[in-house]
A and B are shown apart, each in its own frame.
Chain A
């Protein structure tokens, strides 16, 4: 009799635990989804910012800019004799 009661309560306990796990997983999965979506948005923002920074860098390093800076600083190509090629 005692054994039967024990089995009954054990099964009941397992069922309640299973329901609890299911409910917890439903809530946690939703929270994870929110987090993943936020991270995805953040990733897109970072990638866009990266593109923008690359463009700014490339514009500053444009051939015309480099030439203008070299003229302003009076830079000249060295004579052949002073160039060492490794």
Chain B
């Protein structure tokens, strides 16, 4: 029989051992939870911590009415992982049920590749259908792709983005820093199954690109594009350009360069991205005569009642012979000189103002200067330094040959005469909105070029061009139209002379002439057969002006 003391001692011993055990456990718990916790947390973070990149969505490009011209949407690439495929036929069947075919006919043909792309640009619903089939070896990669709901319309203005997602031309390039947004790295924790335990969440509106709204009105752009395409086909021309500008604000309402391209498709040649309206120079021909006549009127060297002897249509100057297409015998008024586009008449007016003043007015009208339009690749044009002008430079420049201008400069010059003599900076972007900022581009006056009085006289002259002269085909019923035709020979670099076969046919005009709301420039490069502006460009102007007048509800003034 055990004594009571021994059994009490055993109980106490067991209690002590149990207590010690718990004490050790608590101490161990305390050590792990308190002293060793930071090391454990670091180890766990390394195991379960991940970084992911939250891709910023590229900003949209809108037209003047808020219509989307370019946007980014998520699309998927479907790829095959050869190392995970267990049933090749099942993979082939699932993909072919969703209209995806690929050239490899066996698993061996895929080799050991873990990434064999088989389809691009797929939408979420197609991907979901394939995912639901749960076939091993099919993977999906998503990324934002740029889409253009209006197709090839305004392609040259919008531009394209490269495979790196950066703008390569047009507005996409010029406003890259606003459109691109900012990708951010986010920390995540994932469990053993790959599910996200916790992650940093970012407000997408803080990282997405800004929206860029253009001044382009898609309805006007469509009108110009449609009419210009008809003209391009009918005249079998090489290129065509059409620009519509609001002369009072400088806003470009439409800018078309043909032939165009589709920004959603693969670009076969970088040359097709070139925006003729901004980047190419041409000899303007008779449309440039407005500079001479406006300068002479503004300087008071001539007035509307003056007349000039037109040498019976042929004159020799500086070793060259100048001819008039429409021969006028005897004398002609300034109005008739412009209406019938007399080269000789304009040369005589230019000689009155002299080369220094002529050069000054050329520069005042914006020629041989960058207009500042927010598009890349703008050309400056070419006008020789006035100190190097020989005896023939002033005469030839007066009727728009021997100099080079851009279409955007030419439309700007006509806008001066539509805007009371003030040159406005051409604007193609109206507003940028996003990432907490909103930037509005207000109209900017560049300078006063000629007086209001000169403008009134010029509009009278240019109205006569359309009413009685070479621009009759541009007359729009119900509206007074002021404009000028231009038919310029192109310089042939191989023969080093002016070509007798290749011409640039142009017409620039404004309406209603009494208070112009719209200025339009039409340019057709190398029309085949008939090349005169009165037959090629002026009728295009008329059709476009008629349709724009109806669209904008411009009140008739006749």
Contacts and interface: CB of A to CB of B under 8 A. Distances in A.
Interface of A: 30, 33-34, 36-37, 40-41, 45, 47-49, 51-52, 54-55, 58-59, 61-64, 67, 77, 85
A10 to B, nearest CB: 21
Nearest to A53: B73
A55 B197 contact: no
How many of chain B's residues touch chain A, expressed as a range? 20 to 34
B124 to A, nearest CB: 6
A22 B150 CA distance: 58
Given A33-B198, A48-B124, A64-B222, 5 more contacts: A47-B204, A58-B71, A62-B150, A63-B150, A64-B151
A49 B124 CA distance: 7
Interface of B: 57, 67-68, 71-74, 123-124, 147, 149-151, 153, 195-199, 201, 204, 218-219, 221-222, 226, 550, 553
B151 A37 contact: no
Contacts of A77: 550
Given A34-B195, A55-B147, A40 B201 contact: yes
A37 B198 contact: yes
A63 B218 contact: yes
Given A48-B74, A55-B73, A62-B149, A30 B197 contact: yes
- B interface secondary structure, majority: mixed
B73 A40 contact: no
B209 to A, nearest CB: 13
B192 to A, nearest CB: 13
Contacts of B195: 34, 37
Given A34-B196, A37-B196, A77-B550, A59 B149 contact: yes
B151 A62 contact: yes
A52 B123 contact: yes
A5 B444 CA distance: 88
Nearest to A39: B201
A68 to B, nearest CB: 11
Contacts of A47: 204
A85 B57 CA distance: 41
